[in-house]
Chains A and B, each alone.
Chain A
């Protein structure tokens, strides 16, 4: 983690701390959603950006986390502090089991395997009614809002979710600069060369896949305790794709990019939803699909480094000028 990262983390923490005082409920909702999606997207950044493995089933890990935490809470009465870590572990364990055979292979087989996993997850949620309560879902999940008198529930939930999001950000920023991060980037660049240096590429890919699934599981569990109601519908393929688009738009190789991408797509989707109904009734969902697809292609072809990359290159151009401008004049 660099000094710049620490300053940025501090700035984000400060902004979140004061947000409930100044921001409307609508804006707080956007911030909560950004935090939730951001956690999952950062997991994808580690998986896709470093190890260059694609998951098209992250919605399933998010949904699994949500269901595990929600069901353990409503059925067994366990506290969210217990069920959220269990949700993360469950998502990581499923990823481990699926990833083990698939990640031994070189190439993009994980993408299809996770796509299949997403399908199976939907099938199970809809058909295993005894456990999942089927398509109609269930409610009564405990809220995780911290008790602060005089503050709305969104604001009190915001604190919890962003405390976790900031911890995940910090952990991930440290991870990419650690030796694990180096090894993963090496594997992403050349799997063969990594193997020939003695790096067990299958093991590393499996670890980062399980970790990124655990991130999604945590995000999903937090989501369950935010909305307090679950049904299978939100955890389908479109959401998996949305998470991937967030990661690519933000900058697939950048942890901050994951958060930036989540924020950007959440805001754009909101703008779309608010502006479209007048012109194209009921078509916003469809347009989202088209735009997500087009955004994915455009970002890969035109700006492979995403918004974070653009920001970095602007920063690199502006910083020297700024330094020059701030330096005391010598006449």
Chain B
């Protein structure tokens, strides 16, 4: 039986920075509808992988495809228009715009039709920022800023959403709200690739877990198998 074309895939991707290998021969496929968690110790290459998958960074070698089309060497906005967007570990909010305008820009980027501000308001409600629309993006609390970025990403109506440590800096309550949000997002048919430090959160929402260590993919398995995998345990805890 022929496998359906994955929504996004990397084949034989290498990335080097001035002689240092950050990613080594990575193969990765993300199928439509799943939530994939990408975990690994610090410096494993997770953010580099996300940068390459989102077209922000080119691979040194290898192929990256979204919806079957290569994105290597093309501007990231092309993939974005085809339905790929992301959030950033180091927040990339539009600080001279209000929270609402941040979301509005995303709505306006995907269609040339007039966008009703209430539509943008709706995305802020979805991420739990009801009534915060007119606050300037850089006056919000850190956790709320992360949520604005999430709402902005959702407003792009992505087919594939890449999240880079969305829970970093969030309180316990905000984390719980985030994992509920992720489940709801998936229910709407959005595929998610999440890089997350909080294993609890990552394992609770993911269908599949990919483990990176020193630029190498060392495991690709269901979440309940992660804690028992000797390779993963040694990567995280050192050799037992």
Contacts and interface: CB of A to CB of B under 8 A. Distances in A.
Interface of A: 179, 182-183, 185-186, 188-190, 192-202, 253
4 closest residue pairs by CB, A with B: A193-B92, A198-B80, A190-B92, A189-B94
Interface string B75-103: 11100110011101000111111000110
Q: Considering residues A185, A188, A189, A196, which has the most beta carbons from chain B within 10 angstroms of its beta carbon?
A: A196
A10 B94 CA distance: 32
A320 B38 CA distance: 52
A195 B77 contact: yes
Given A183-B105, A185-B96, A199-B109, 13 more contacts: A179-B108, A182-B105, A186-B102, A189-B93, A189-B95, A189-B97, A190-B93, A192-B92, A193-B149, A193-B152, A194-B77, A196-B54, A196-B77
A309 to B, nearest CB: 12
B94 A193 contact: yes
A57 to B, nearest CB: 25
A39 B131 CA distance: 39
A198 B93 contact: no
Given A195-B75, A197-B156, A182 B85 contact: no
Q: Considering residues B77, B88, B92, which has the most beta carbons from chain A within 10 angstroms of its beta carbon?
A: B77
B96 A196 contact: no
Contacts of A188: 96
B75 A198 contact: no
Interface residues of B, number: 30
Given A182-B101, A185-B97, A196 B80 contact: yes
B96 A189 contact: yes
Nearest to A50: B96
B96 A197 contact: no
B56 interface: yes
A188 B105 CA distance: 13
Contact of B94 (A179, A190, A198, A253): A190
A199 B56 CA distance: 14
Contacts of A202: 75
A182 B77 contact: no
Q: Considering residues B88, B115, B149, which has the most beta carbons from chain A within 10 angstroms of its beta carbon?
A: B88
Nearest to B76: A195
A183 B96 contact: no
Contact of B75 (A179, A182, A200): A200
A51 B53 CA distance: 26
A194 B86 CA distance: 11
Contacts of A195: 56, 75-77, 80
Contacts of B109: 183, 194, 197-199
A198 B92 contact: no
A275 to B, nearest CB: 38
B110 interface: yes
Contacts of B94: 185-186, 189-190, 193-194
A263 B230 CA distance: 72
A179 to B, nearest CB: 5
Nearest to B104: A182
A197 B88 CA distance: 12
A199 B92 contact: no
B129 interface: no
